[in-house]
Amino acid sequence: MTANPPSTVLAGKRRWIALIFLALGVAMIILDATVVNVAIPSMVKDLHLSTSDAEWVNAAYSLTFASLLILNGRLADRFGRRLLFAIGVVIFVAASVLVALSTNSIEVIGARALQGVGAAMILPASLSVLNAVFTGKARAIAFAAWGATIGGMAALGPLVGGYLTTYASWHWAFLINLPIGIIVLIGLFAVVPETKDTTGRRGVDWPGTILVTAGLLGVVFALIEGQRYGWVVQVQKFTLGGLTWPVGGISIVLVSGIIGVGALIALVLTERSRQRRGKIAIVDLRLFAIRTFGGGNLVALVVSLGEFGLLFTLPLFLQSVKGFSAMHTGVVLTSLAAGAFIASGAGAALSQRMGPVRVLRVGMTCEVIGIVGLAICISPQITSWGLVPWLFFYGLGVGFATAPLTGVILSEVPVNDSGSASAVQSTARQIGAAIGTAILGTTLLIGLGHFTTNQMTAAGAPPQVTAQISNAMQASAGQIIPELAKQPGTEVAVSAASQGFADATKTVAAVAGIFVLLGLITSFLLPTNAARIEAEGYEPPRDGDGNDNGTGTGTGTGTGGQPEPALS
């Protein structure tokens, strides 16, 4: 294994300054992934979005993000990690401006997808630079800072989005990326060195790229649109451009799901074949033989199924049922930020004392406690203070789990594979986010119809009125409630719809909690001492081929055999 040239490795204070600008770029894309949750209710009203449209505003971002991460990780390794990072910032900022200027669902969803393209360049490049520039104990600190950035920005996003949406407009929740992007680009070219793969590997796996994109698109489309178009039989006409899928036959959702699953199976077979023939593969399946890498990515995928969908649902509930402003909603969700910041600050020290895997498990346990607490206590009568303790526990979990998991996944990956490996672990998270949003969004959609119907029927409403209110709840993601409340004589309908939304949200929280619990259980596949040596700054002795002579489970430590630079 060939180490990076010494000239590309930073030493002293400059690398920590570089970390600041890399983290700021990552903060921008994570912030935008969560800002939209608070802005969604306003966007639903202004752009007349349906519930499915609202899901796609999130899913389009996660989908393109997930689909292109691995390709961009490979491109970053080949053409330069700083270069890909810079191009990603430019695309992301331009797409953010397009989101702000959108006037309908097609424009905003398309612009969000373009944001995902830029984000897919930024995230793996940032991790790959850290993996190349930092080693040993310094790398553990850098990963902790990177993880704290993700945890903190994911939590602060709702507050920033709430402030901008309330006191300016939802458009400014995206325009804020313009000045941030300019600062990142200036700092990037001033202090961040260019690093590349030094093994001389060339080529791009276009078949793999097409298959992974088609597979994810097919599966996510089926999960989001199943309720609208029918899971097996087409119940509503689907039109795209000049093509129309008629009612009555096999559903486009079923066809899409089959194509998606088939493409993902073909992806695995194709990648195995390419590796046997010595060609570049978009997914290096050999990395999954590393226990920390394979098991860690499985944990990341499962946990992400539950983490992000709940943050899509909760702001809708608070603004429609509780009547909170976007700012008030953001303030409530700041309790999650507080937990994330506290946990992120303590996470590095705890990882050295307890081991990263144990801290990871503590984090996921806190997440389960917070989510289950929300599932139990949510009601139309709940106050802000009734939500705060559970959101705080949830934030603690996010803070404790994010950085250790990243460190565990990459701890034994060779530096020359760091771009691809970083992209795979980020892809696992984004696949989980896209599919999780689709599953929990569909759970919300079904729950809004089912529970509102039950509440309206129990209140003695006529069947025709019950069906009308239930359909309106599903179509508007519950945002019909404030409008309904303005009409005279609708107290019973508003009460029933509000309780129906509360019951649907409780169901979403319960499903999210199950996913995170499954992630916690899956974490026991990881060796307890994973990444412990790396966190303590110790590297095991190596033989002449660079192989670990210790008892580790992987094929390399990810340090590339580089000496540990001074921390000063």
pLDDT band per the 50, 70, 90 thresholds, residue 456: very high
Q: Which stretch of DSSP H or E encloses residue 94? A: helix 81-101
Higher per-residue confidence, 511 vs 559 = 511
pLDDT for res 147: 67
Is the pLDDT at 529 greater than 50? The verdict is yes
pLDDT digits over 164-175, tens only? 888 888 898 899
Instruction: Average the pLDDT over each of 48-62, 343-357, 413-427, 515-529 and give the range with the smallest value.
Output: 413-427
6-204+282-455+501-535: which CATH topology?
Growth Hormone; Chain: A; (1.20.1250)
| d(C-alpha 32, C-alpha 112), whole Å | 10
Which two tokens mark 26? 């990552």
Closest by CA to 119, choosing from 199, 205, 184, 33, is 33
Burial class (CB in 10 A: 0-12, 13-18, 19+), 566: exposed
- pLDDT above 80: residue 311: no
Band (538; pLDDT cuts 50, 70, 90) = very low
Residue 545 has pLDDT above 50, yes or no: no
Residue 119 scores a pLDDT above 80: yes
| pLDDT band for position 201 (cuts 50, 70, 90) | low
**What pLDDT is stored for residue 1 in this prediction?**
37
Please say whether the dihedral angle defined by the alpha carbons of residues 267, 271, 273 and 277, taken in this order, is positive or negative: positive
Confidence bin at 4 (pLDDT 50/70/90): very low
| Res. 224: pLDDT tops 70 | yes
**553 pLDDT higher than 50:** no
pLDDT of residue 308: 67
Beta partners for residue 243, in sequence order? 240
Number of CB atoms found within 10 A of residue 257's CB: 19
- Length of the chain in residues, anyone? 568
Burial of 491 (0-12, 13-18, 19+ CB in 10 A): exposed
Collapsing DSSP to helix, strand or coil, 459 comes out as coil
Selection from 418, 477, 369, 340 nearest residue 30 by Cα: 340
Q: What is d(CA 40, CA 476) in angstroms, rounded to the nearest whole number?
A: 11
Q: Quickly state the pLDDT bin for 6 (edges 50, 70, 90).
A: very low
Is the pLDDT score of 215 beyond 80?
yes
Across-strand partners of 277? none
The per-residue pLDDT for 489 is: 82
pLDDT of residue 503: 95
Q: Where are the domains of the chain?
A: 6-204+282-455+501-535
pLDDT band at 142 (very low <50, low <70, confident <90, very high): confident
Residue 537 pLDDT > 90: no
Looking at residue 555, what is its pLDDT? 31
The beta strands (E) that lie in 370-524 are given as none
> What is the mean pLDDT of the segment spanning 186-206?
77
> Which of 153-157, 159-163, 273-277 has the weakest average pLDDT?
153-157
| Share above pLDDT 70 across residues of the chain, in percent, rounded to a whole number | 86
Q: Give the pLDDT score at 12.
A: 64
Asked if 282 and 71 touch (Cβ cutoff 8 Å), the reply is: yes
Can you give 230-292 as a three-state secondary structure string? Answer: CCCECCCCEEECCEEECCCCECHHHHHHHHHHHHHHHHHHHHHHHHHCCCCCCCCHHHHHCHH
Window from 92-106, 411-425, 481-495 with minimum mean pLDDT: 411-425
Shortest CA distance to 355 belongs to which of 283, 398, 302, 292? 292
**pLDDT for 92:** 96
pLDDT at 551: 32
Q: Comparing 70 with 218, which gets the higher pLDDT?
A: 218
Give yes or no for residue 202 having a pLDDT over 70: no
pLDDT band at 154 (very low <50, low <70, confident <90, very high): low
pLDDT of residue 533: 44
Amino acid, res. 149: T
R_g over Cα of the chain: 23
Asked whether residue 509 carries a pLDDT value surpassing 80, the answer given is: yes
Q: Cα-flanking dihedrals φ and ψ of residue 238, to 5°?
A: -110, 130
pLDDT in tens, 36-92: 878 888 888 888 888 778 878 877 887 788 778 777 877 887 888 899 999 999 999
Q: What's the mean pLDDT in 516-541? A: 66
